[in-house]
Amino acid sequence: MKPTLTTRTPLRTTRQTTESTSDIQEQIRRRAHELYEQSGREDGHELEDWLQAESEVTEPKAKTAAA
């Protein structure tokens, strides 16, 4: 039986992971601010805006990973 060749997935360093996390958090922050402005800059909905933004930003990545 011939051995099969496998391609190894490179491990991410802490720095790469931190940079990725920072990028995602920045995207979420920007989207949450857009939602805030779209709602007429109404205070008191920070958590809702953040959670919606987080869902929007991370959901496409989750679908891609599942595919």
Q: What is the pLDDT of residues 13-32, one digit of tens each?
A: 666 666 688 999 999 999 99
Domain of 43, in residue numbers? 18-66
Q: How many folded domains does the chain comprise?
A: 1
pLDDT exceeds cutoff 70 at 63: no
Token couple for 34: 């857009």
Q: For residue 9, tell me if it sits in a domain.
A: no
Higher-scoring residue by pLDDT: 11, 55: 55
Q: ∠ CA 12-25-48 to the nearest 5 degrees?
A: 140
Q: For residue 32, tell me if it sits in a domain.
A: yes
Percent helix, percent strand, percent coil in the chain, to nearest 5: 70, 0, 30
Q: For residue 10, tell me if it sits in a domain.
A: no
SS3 5: coil
Q: For residue 13, tell me if it sits in a domain.
A: no
Q: Which pLDDT does position 13 carry in this prediction?
A: 63
Q: For residue 5, tell me if it sits in a domain.
A: no
Average pLDDT, rounded, for the chain = 82
